[in-house]
Structures are given as C-alpha cells and as structure tokens.
Structure 1
Amino acid sequence: VTKEGKEKDRSILILSFPYSNAAYAYPLPAENSECFLYGLTQLFRQAGGVPRKLRIDNLAAAVVSIRKGGERQYTEAFERFRLHYGFDVQACNPYSGHEKGNVERKVYYTRQHCFVPAPLIEGDEELAEWLHRKMIEDRARPHYEKGRTIEELWQEEQKELLVLPERDLPIFSFHHANVNKYGEVTVDGEALVVHGIPVPNRVLVKKEWDRFMVLSQEGEVYLEAPRPYTKKRRELPWKDILAEWAQKPRVVEYSRFRVYLPEAIRKYFMEQPKQTASRIRGVQKLLERYTVYEIAQWLDKYQRWDLTPHEIGVLMEAKRSEYPAKWEEAYTPSVLVDYETDLHVYDQRLCPSREGGSRA
C-alpha cells in the first residue's frame, strides 16, 4: 500500500468459506503469532461467528512441530486461542497447498482484485475498513458453478457458524530480554534505548500485535511504544519514475504511479501539455535538493503554474535562505516595549562642556 508517497508492506490474512466462496480479509503489519491471532479475532467479528473447523497450513505462528504420524504440536498461544473460541483445527500436510485450494485461489484473487495497483491509504484502520467493504461488495457476483450469488449462499452458510464468545481473548506474549551496557533492549531485531533503567539488567517485554511494553520484574513500565515494524516505509523511486515519464510523456495519464503524486504536481505537469516533458525533467532535477512534498507544498502555497521548474527552484532556494520570522516573546516589561534610547543624555555625561551638561 502507499501512504504519503511511501510504500508500506502489509500482509493480508484471509478467511475463506468454500461452500459459498465468501471471504473476509484483514491487513496486518507482520506474520508473527500476535498478528495472526489478532487478525483471526477481527475476521471472526466480521463474519459474525466462528467456523466450526479451521483448516490451516503449517505456519510458524500456530504450529511448533510435526510429529510422527502427522500429529501437530501447536503453540501454547494458538491452543489457548482455539479453546477460547471453540473451533476444531485441521492442519494440511506439508507442501500440500491443494488441500486448502479454495483459500489459495482466494489469495490470488484478492491480490489482483484489491491491490493492483497498490491503494492509497491514510492509516491502517482506514485500510481495514476499505478492505472489508471490498470483500462484501464482491459477494454480489455469481458463484462460479452454483448459479446463485455468493451473498445468497453466504446467508445459508453463516447460520452454521458458532456463536462468538462475549469477550475477545486478549492477545499478547511475554518474553525476557537483556539490557546491555548502553541501556538498549532488542525488540523485533532492533536495539531500542530505554531510559531510566539500571544497566546491565534483565526485563520483561510484553508484545501485542502493534505495540510493546518494557517492564521490570516487578511490573514497572519503563517504555511503551509501537512495534518497530509498524513504522517501516520505503520511498517511492520518483527519480526513476520521472525519468521514464520524461521519455514518454503520454504515459503519465495512464501510469499507476500517477495517483501517488501530490495533486499540485499532477496539476503542474498537465497545466500546459506541450511543456509536460520539460516540466517532468525539471522536477526530476529539483528532486536532488527537495522532496516531492516540499515542491508540492510550494506550488500549493503560491499557485505559480506558469513558472518553469528552474524558476521554481530559484524561488524555493531564496525562500529557504531568508531569515526566520521574528519570534514573539512575553518577557520584556511593557514600559520597555518599543522604547527608544535618548543618546543626548549620554553625550551630556561624556562631554558636559560641549553638550551643556553638568559635571555632577
């Protein structure tokens, strides 16, 4: 997905119902145990109930090992989750994707239907709501072989779901971690500084799907913050994209990257069609000194659609080199505000005979 001109990776957990071909999907920032179980909780809520049986592959978030005879050893967290919601689990054989072919096809369909091109998002909550609507709208199409809509078949299948428990199971895990001599604790592979903690030390790390807490052995909270992977974003390669557009200006209108450009720059490119190629090359040059969003903010503020990129660069550089605006402060007594010194008084003191002052 794309947010503020940067790409973010999201894993999509899909729950598919083979009888009706209905499905639900939920976006998550990672594929660990906390995300997997939190995502299942949200999917059960969206479906309005719990499937009686859940067929899964041998993902590490649920399966610890496969014993002789095919018996699975599940993680303690997944086993507790299964007992809370009351469903049975069927694990596929290793390397046997055909045993859950319905959801495998649904993964491919959802990727093509919803994420090509990558959607623009404001936040994860908005993405989850958007994806939920898309999956509901998709149920209006006919089933591929039953001659009825997916929605009609889903209404029948939904009646077979187990009732949701009154309360969701809280999803979190605890891990011990060492504090090194620099006061750092490693969370999700990243060393994070924790202030106010004696070093070296040993602490507890409580992990939820999107946040973590660093706790003392007595439960005192040293740090609470988003998990590091929730912040990771990649810059879109605008220089390469603009280089391609400069060669073929007509593709701008049809490029999948066009929607990711700030509105001001899209308008600037299309304002004078005969100059589109030169403006693209000029903005590409400006990216050596400014970001796409700095250029867009300048255009939004001054509305100078007539200028060449070189002229915009000159004005932006001039604006950058200006002295900052005078700060307002409230410490000077009111009697001294705008007070002007009478230098004649000093002249009388320094040279009384010439300025008519006294020697006293």
Structure 2
Amino acid sequence: MSVQENIRTLDSHGIAGREIARRLGVSRDSVTKYTGQQDYSPKPPTPVPRPAGSVLTGFEDTMERWLGEDQQRPRKQRHTAQRVFDRLVAEQDYLGSYSPVQRFVKKWKAQHRHAGEGFTELVWPAGTAQVDFGQAEAIIAGTRQVLHIFVVTFPFSNMRFVQAYRGETAECVCHGLRTVFDHIGAAPRTMVFDNATGIGRRVGPKIVETKLFGAFKLHYRSESRYCNPYSGNEKGNVENAVGFLRRNLMVPEPEAASLQGLNDVLLARCLALAKTVHYRKGLPVGELFAQDVAASLALPGVGFDPVRYESRTADKTGNLLIDGNTYAAGSSFHSRTLTVGLRHDVVEILDEQATPVRSFPRAFGRQTETIFEPASLLPLLVTKPGAWSHSQLRPLVPDLVRDWLDTATATNRRRLLSAVDAASGSAGFDAAIHAADLLIQRGDTPDIAALGMLARRLADGSAPPADNVDLSVYDIFTTTAGTDTFTTVTTATGEIA
C-alpha cells in the first residue's frame, strides 16, 4: 500500500506519469493502473479457479449421479469422498489422486445443502438438567476397571456433576440423580436424556420409560424430555461435559479403595468447578448455579429408594438367573418363587414373605461362574459331605482346612462343616473359616463349641494369639520314676499339707 499511496500522492500533485515511474522505480504500467483506479473499497475474496484440464474430466456426471442418489438413502449410508474415490478406481478406471475427488464432493455437498440443515443455538432456562453417560478407566482396590461415568449438567450455569458406576441401568441412573439431588438440595424441573441412558426410549413421537424411572419422576415431580435419536447436539452441554470431566477429573486414572470412595472424590472435585467463571456470561459458575437451584423443585421429605423388584423361580439347585447371570439362593430354596431386589450395586433375594435371605454384589456383564455366598453352601454339604470334593466352596477355604476336610472321614467332615455353619450365623463365614484354620494349626479338635467361641472373638477383634500354649511349666507337679512324690497329708487341724 505504501507504493500505491506514493503513486497517488505524486499524481495528486500534478506530476506526470513518466516522472512518477522514474522517481519511484516502478513501471509506467503500474503508475497508469493505480492512478486510473477509481474505487479502493475492500472487496470480498474470490476463489482462484484452478487451471482447466482436470483429471476429473469425464467423471463429473458419474459422481453427481451417485451423490444425488444418496439423498434418498439413510444418512449413515451415504457416500463419503473416500467411498466415491474407491468406486471411481474400481468401477470407472480412474487414475487420478484422491484430493480432486475430495474437493469435488465437498463442493457438491455445499451447493446442495438444504436451508434447514445445520444446528441452532439453544437457550436453556434455569432449573433444567441434561443427563448422559460416558466411559473412563479408574483403579478400584488395585484393579483397573472401565467404568460408566454418569454426568448431570445444568446448562444455564454450566455446573457439572459426575458419578461412576459399573453399568448404565435404570437403577444406576436413579441412584446417580438422587445423589446429585440430595447434594444440591433440589430437583430440576426438567431433565433431558437420550435413548442410551437406560431409563426410556423415544421412537418417533412415542416415548416408553421404565417403571422405576416413572416412579422416580413421580417422587420428585420432575419432567423428562428425550432427544431425537442421533441428535446429541440437542443436549450439547452434557455431551461436552462428558469429555471435559473425563480429561480433567480422571487424568491420570484416579485410584480409590472402593467405588463409593471414588464417587466421593469426584463429587468433591466437581464442587471446585463452581469457582470458575462462565465462559460466556462472565460470572462465577457458583453464582449462576444458585439461580438453577432457586428455579428447581424442593425435595420431598424422604429420598427415593432406586430398587427394582422382580419375581424369579429358582431351579432345582436353588439358583436364579438374573440379567443373564446365575445367583445361588441356596439349595433349600429350590423350585421356589422368590423376589429379587435389584439396586445399582446389590442384588437382594427375598423369600415368599419378603424377608431378605441373600445379598450379593451386583455383577455387570456376563459372568461364567455362579455367584454365591459361601455360607449358603454349608447346609447342603453338612447333609451330603461326600460332595465336598467337587464343591464350589473347596477352592475358597485355607489350605489347612481344605487338606483336613479332604482326608477326614465323612463323620469328621460333617462335624467340622456343621461347626462352621453354626458359627457363620453369628460371626460370619470369614470369621468361622478363620477360626477353623487356627484350631487346626494348634492341633485342636474343631468342635462346635470351640470353633463358635473363637469365631465370635475373631469377628469382635479380640482373637487370642495363634501360638500354642506351653504346658511344660506344669510338669513339676507330676511324678516320674526316680523322682520325689508329693503326698497329701491331713493335719490334725484339718488343713492339707
């Protein structure tokens, strides 16, 4: 611009074009061009056309036909630029490179885009929450696990909460929502979901929700809304939050002794987000979130118990099939119809009078082995001690107890199993089997009385030392050949000497 400005300045002073060219060292054509230009207003950039003779010459009609036919196909089954290139090479003997094809497809799609395509910016009122799941790894009790991270966001304030679960069931969703509700002291008026959250599905205008989530909404008086399938942009705030929380709260992988411990840490870290400033509104997130809470609903006097009850009939071995996994209720429950209570982390089995009889950690994914409580196998083994050799219980006991039972007679085996069964009722199976192990180490007979007393002391944390007691100190009160003997003499006064 400085050269052009100098040309026009000298021209405005009436200096001839030849002199201007000589002074500035430019051509006379340049002087004529810039002195004769009338409009210097900015112009929009225009694309520079590529030279003629493209390698696509002769292929344009074929590509346009393929892309035009795509308009009648499902969105996820249309041609990409790579697919167009592959077909040209395979079917049309195209010898050119990929880049011209990619540019052609991009230009064609831009020119044929409908006016209604694209996304619109959504405005969310205070008191609205968005819900979604993602996945992340964490180390629980020393074991690396892939967890499902449950994320709840409030798009008005951009406040975000996360909890980790082992599945994406309705029980997990309801438990996670209750945790967030109890934490903030309110329930959002509207919750936005998609079809992947396990509590409901939208197919066209029809929405089908699980009974558990229906009861959850009644409990808190909240409303639900579901996105169109494959339209994550309709809840973009939580979609972005899933990635944000995974990168910022779970890198490196967090470690915890239990899943509940991890969730306590995650909830505490989410609170720190309230101190940040909203990316657009320029106010602290915590200040905006106060408006979210104020616009939400008050909590009822009692929290919702997210449990789903179902009826199951046990097979002839007392096992129940629950969500594709086998749980052992116990042989005494064979062929009986029981009630199963499913929570996010626990499977509870109840008898015909709704009395709890078994409780198991809930398994997610397909388990190849039957899930059982060791104590539930004891009554059958007492009745049938010969089944010990192939029992599921055998690999779970200490080596000394296993060896003792392997070599014991049927009577002694039944006696020890009966003692462990009796002690398990009051002290628990772990304490009972530990007591049996200690008694065998000492060389004592593991009868019911001794094992039960020791198991209760182990359960209470007041176990005696494991070492054998040295009774040799009492040898001085005994007599042997060639030694003095003690004689009991009664004196005249009746005293013993």
Same fold (TM over 0.5): yes
- Aligned match of 1:42: 179
- Aligned match of 1:13: 150
1:153 aligns with 2:294: no
Q: Is 1:206–1:214's contact at 8 Å kept on the other side of the alignment?
A: yes
> What is the CA–CA distance in structure 2 between the aligned matches of 1:207 and 1:124, rounded to whole Å?
18
SS of corresponding position for 1:137: helix
Counterpart of 1:180 in structure 2: which amino acid?
A: D
1:94 aligns with 2:229: yes
Q: Is 1:24–1:46's contact at 8 Å kept on the other side of the alignment?
A: no
Structure 2 portions without partners, runs of 5+: 1-137, 368-440, 444-465, 484-497
- Aligned match of 2:115: none
SS of corresponding position for 2:316: coil
**In the TM superposition, what is the alpha-carbon distance from 1:336 to its structure 2 partner?**
5.0
Q: 1:25 to 1:199 in 2, by over 3 A?
A: same
Counterpart of 1:116 in structure 2: which amino acid?
A: V
1:122 aligns with 2:257: yes
- Aligned match of 1:294: none
Q: CA RMSD in A?
A: 2.9
Find the partner of 1:29 among 161, 166, 170. 166
Q: 1:220 to 1:51 in 2, by over 3 A?
A: closer
Percentage identity across aligned positions? 26
Q: Is 1:197–1:222's contact at 8 Å kept on the other side of the alignment?
A: no
Q: 1:179 to 1:337 in 2, by over 3 A?
A: farther
- Aligned match of 1:296: none
Counterpart of 1:3 in structure 2: which amino acid?
A: I
Return structure 1 stretches of 4+ with deviation > 3 angstroms. Answer: 324-330, 332-345
Q: Is 1:50–1:85's contact at 8 Å kept on the other side of the alignment?
A: yes
**In the TM superposition, what is the alpha-carbon distance from 1:26 to its structure 2 partner?**
1.9
The TM-score with structure 1 as length reference comes to: 0.62
> What is the CA–CA distance in structure 2 between the aligned matches of 1:204 and 1:43, rounded to whole Å?
29
Counterpart of 2:329 in structure 1: which amino acid?
A: V
> What is the CA–CA distance in structure 2 between the aligned matches of 1:183 and 1:337, rounded to whole Å?
55
- Aligned match of 2:359: 224
Find the partner of 1:113 among 225, 244, 248. 248
Counterpart of 1:104 in structure 2: which amino acid?
A: E
- The higher relative CO (CA closer than 8 Å, separation ≥ 6) is in 1
> What is the CA–CA distance in structure 1 between the aligned matches of 2:142 and 2:260, rounded to whole Å?
18
Larger radius of gyration: 2
Structure 1 portions without partners, runs of 5+: 233-323, 346-360
- Aligned match of 1:138: 273
> What is the CA–CA distance in structure 1 between the aligned matches of 2:318 and 2:358, rounded to whole Å?
12
> What is the CA–CA distance in structure 2 between the aligned matches of 1:198 and 1:79, rounded to whole Å?
32
Counterpart of 2:297 in structure 1: which amino acid?
A: L
> What is the CA–CA distance in structure 1 between the aligned matches of 2:284 and 2:226, rounded to whole Å?
30
Q: Is 2:442–2:467's contact at 8 Å kept on the other side of the alignment?
A: no
Question: Where does 1:265-344 land on structure 2 (aligned, <5 Å)?
Answer: 328-329=467-468, 342=480
> What is the CA–CA distance in structure 1 between the aligned matches of 2:280 and 2:139, rounded to whole Å?
36
Q: 1:144 to 1:341 in 2, by over 3 A?
A: farther
The TM-score with structure 2 as length reference comes to: 0.46
Counterpart of 1:328 in structure 2: which amino acid?
A: D
**In the TM superposition, what is the alpha-carbon distance from 1:229 to its structure 2 partner?**
4.2
Find the partner of 2:349 among 214, 225, 247. 214
Deviation string, structure 1 residues 239-277 (Cα, Å, up to 9, x no partner): xxxxxxxxxxxxxxxxxxxxxxxxxxxxxxxxxxxxxxx
